[in-house]
Amino acid sequence: MAKRIEASNVTSYYGSFKAIDSISMTVEPKTITALIGPSGCGKSTFLRSINRMHEVLPGARIEGRLTIDDQNIYDPDVDVTAVRRMIGMVFQRPNPFPTMSIYENVVAGLKLNGVKKKSLLDDAAEQSLKSANLWEEVKDRLGRPGAGLSGGQQQRLCIARTIAVEPQVVLMDEPCSALDPISTLAIEDLMFKLKDRFTIIIVTHNMQQAARVSDKTGFFSIDKTGEPGRLIEYDDTQKIFSNPTQKKTEDYITGRFG
Amino acid sequence: MSMTTRSDLAGVAMTPDNIRTKKLPLGINLLVAVVAFGLAAALVYGLGIGNWVLVVALGWALYLVGLFMAASRVEGRRAARNRAWQSLIYSACVLAILPLASVVWTLVSKGWERLDANFFNTSMNNIGARDPNGGAYHAIIGTLEQVGIATLIAVPLGVLGAIYLVEYGRGKFANTVRFFVDVMTGIPSIVAGLFILAFWVLIVSPWFNNGEPRFSGFAAALALSVLMLPTIVRSTEEMLRLVPSPLREGAYALGVPQWKTILKIVVPTALPGIVTGVMLAVARAAGETAPVLLVAGGADAINMNPFGGNQSSLALFVYQQAGDASKYAPARAWTAALTLVAVVLILTIAAKMLARRNSLTR
């Protein structure tokens, strides 16, 4: 049950600083969308506003509409935790809960949301770890601490934890930037597999990665430091990387700036 | 010594000579020590200016200087400075441990005499000046009850207060709270005792006792909790701040509400540190004498009820026995002091083990 995401004129602020300026884009269900652009251009800010993680920081706020299957998630009567349960997020650095075992990490989302039945949790743990291509590596040591795994395994553990709560959208904020090429490949493979079930939006600094994994690509940029980030171009990945309409996009992907 | 410039270093090839240096042999080290202490002894006793304490201090200083000079001749100035600082740091460590070891030794050696069954199952009720018996049963009960109640009051308040300051507190109000917690840290215990005397013993307790003010162990517990509160808030606050925010965000991203994130992710992660802070506060409270004397009054007889009537405590017992005219009193004071240290030690070890049992071992 993946969902369509529509952003219209999303503008976000940190205090009085405008981080992104009227971003509008539509993300189709069961696709992978890559957001690329130079550092500080607001792609992570935009990603974090899709599951209302942006507002965790003090002073941060959003203007505009962000609808998921025509429901505006910024309506005042919307329950933030419900939104976040539907829109999972994988972070730049693997962040397994240090006090929990591998098993407890995977089912943390379910358990903390009130699922108590052991058989249900066991099933969810196995399914999610299998989906995250981690089951074979950890099935004999589910009781060991999650923080004891390697970086790549930790990141797949975090992905397993995210998909265990059955979200409809998975947001990934530079999920491979702390990983070696082999672990990166493992996660890219995983993304293809997850595409059948989820809508995925990934922020990445690695343009090859964007070209490899995504169906559509959005290019963000800023005019200069202190200016808000803007969406310069948003199109099929193929088109962005072979024949972009904007000069800026072409300069960026050919390495002339950024 | 000439300055080493960048051009001196540039282009130096790595040969067996220029990456190896001469090392001071261990024998020289010992020789320097023997000469230094010998010289110190000769000086001090020869001139008759002091005893062995001065010999040790002077010998140590001479040893440091001698070692530095010997090392700078053989190994060069940089290595010599390294040796001198290393020796200084080790000496500082020994100096810091010495008083602690001395306290423990004094307590054990002097407390040994009355460390018997009688001490732990009798009180001071009807113990005259010529009676070698008498014990601290009533004081142990008092300490455990008072500190226990104080912990029950201060830990929830302190931990919740710290959670407020870290997770929710923004702006002026939180800053004000933090400021007053800091001010509270510096409150002398006698002031806390006076506050409880004025507020609880003189104003509130008469309502429960037919209009008569009354001392109680509970009043002492209140005073102790006033003293424990700032320590617990500050240490818990520091520990909660150490929990990385990506952990919180990771939980939020799973749709976990904030209160549950705090309860199930943040606090468990910080738990070992929080427990250490709480135990520091408990240790401080267990050692307080003045508030107990002021609001629980002290007692010679066993009083199990913390809510009515005078109670004693181990710290108060030590104070009273140390000042008692009976020739048997000092031994009781030493044993009580030893007991107090042992109680705090056992509580601390137990708490640490409990905290560790919950978190996974690497």
Q: Are A179 and A156 in contact (CB under 8 A)?
A: no
Q: Which of A182-191, B70-79, B331-340 has the highest mean pLDDT?
A: B331-340
Higher pLDDT among residues A223 and B58, named by residue: B58
CATH code of the domain covering residue A33? 3.40.50.300
Q: How many CB atoms lie within 10 A of CB A1?
A: 12
Q: Do A81 and B256 touch (CB under 8 A)?
A: yes
The domain of A63 spans 5-96+169-253
Taking the CA of residue A223 and the nearest CA in chain B, the distance in Å comes to 30
Average pLDDT, chain B: 89
- The first and second tokens of residue A210, run together, are 């964007």
Q: For B74-124, what is each residue's pLDDT tens digit?
A: 888 888 888 889 989 999 999 999 999 999 999 999 999 889 999 999 999
Among chain A residues, the shortest Cα distance to B250 is held by A95
Contacting residues of A for B171, CB less than 8 Å apart: none
Supply the pLDDT for residue A4: 85
Asked whether the beta carbons of residue B264 and residue A112 sit closer than 8 angstroms, the reply is yes
Contact B362 A56 (CB under 8 A): no
According to the model, what pLDDT value does residue B357 have?
A: 61
**pLDDT tens-digit readout, A64-121:** 999 988 889 998 899 999 999 999 999 999 999 999 999 999 999 999 988 889 999 9
Check pLDDT > 60 for residue B3.
Answer: no
Distance, in Å, from the CA atom of A22 to the CA atom of A24, rounded to the nearest integer, reads: 6
B266 CB near a chain A CB, below 8 Å?
no
Q: Which pLDDT score is estimated for B26? A: 81
Q: What is the pLDDT of residue A215?
A: 93
Q: Looking at residues B25-45, what average pLDDT do you find?
A: 88
Indicate the domain borders of chain B.
Answer: 19-106, 119-358
Assess whether pLDDT exceeds 80 at residue B17: no
B263 contacts in chain A (CB < 8 Å): none
Closest CA relative to residue A200, chosen from A34, A86, A40 = A34
C-alpha to C-alpha distance for B108 and B99, rounded to whole angstroms? 14
Write the residue in A56, A148, A165 that is nearest to B362 by C-beta. A148
Residue of B nearest to A166 (CA): B254
Residue B1 has what pLDDT?
A: 44
What amino acid is encoded at B215 in this protein?
F
Q: What is the pLDDT of residue B308?
A: 86
Q: Which residues of A touch B254 (CB under 8 A)?
A: 84-85, 88, 108-109, 112-113, 161-162, 165
Q: Does B38 touch chain A (CB under 8 A)?
A: no
Choose among A101, A109, A145: nearest Cβ to B254. Answer: A109
| Residues B315-338 pLDDT 10s | 999 999 999 889 999 999 999 999
Average pLDDT of B3-11? 62
Distance between CA atoms of residues A205 and A46, nearest Å: 15
Q: How many domains does chain A have?
A: 1
ipTM of this complex prediction, to 2 decimal places: 0.90
pLDDT at A1 over 60: no
Distance (Å) from the C-alpha of residue B245 to the closest C-alpha of chain A?
A: 10
Mean pLDDT throughout A182-187? Answer: 86
The answer to whether residue A160 is domain-embedded is no
Chain A residue closest to B259 (CA)? Answer: A112
Give backbone dihedrals phi and psi of B319, rounded to 5 degrees, phi first: -60, -45
CATH fold of B119-358: MetI-like fold (1.10.3720)
Is there a contact between A56 and B249 if contact means CB atoms under 8 Å apart?
A: yes
Please name the amino acid found at residue B331: A
Closest chain B residue to A82 measured between Cα atoms? B255
- How many residue contacts between A and B have a Cβ separation below 8 Å? 83
pLDDT of the residue at B221: 96
Cβ-defined contact of A82 to B255 (cutoff 8 Å): yes
Strand-pairing partners, residue A14, are A17, A60
Among chain A residues, the shortest Cα distance to B247 is held by A95
Of A86, A91, A144, the CB nearest to B250: A91
In Å, what is the CA distance from B218 to each residue of B153, B191, B302? Answer: 11, 17, 15
Domain-embedded: residue A30: yes
- Which residue does chain B place closest to A50, by CA atoms? B253
Instruction: Kindly state whether residue A191 falls inside one of the protein's structural domains.
Output: yes
Nearest CA in chain A to B251: A109
Residue A24 in this model has a pLDDT that exceeds 80: yes
CB contact under 8 A, B255 and A89: no
Q: What are phi and psi of A172, to 5 degrees?
A: -125, 120
| Mutation target among B254, B263, B271, B357 for the A interface, most CBs of A within 10 A | B254
Least Cα distance to A49 among A65, A36, A34, A38 occurs for A65
Which residue from A91, A112, A113 is facing B249, i.e. has the nearest CB?
A91
Which chain B residues are within 8 Å of A175, Cβ to Cβ? none
Inter-chain touch B251–A97, beta carbons under 8 Å: yes
Which residues pair with residue B297 across a beta bridge? B311
CB contact under 8 A, A91 and B248: no
Please tell me the predicted confidence (pLDDT) of residue A236.
92
User: Which whole number is the average pLDDT over A234-245?
Assistant: 90
Closest CB to A58 among B170, B358, B359: B170
Identify whether A249 is part of a domain: yes
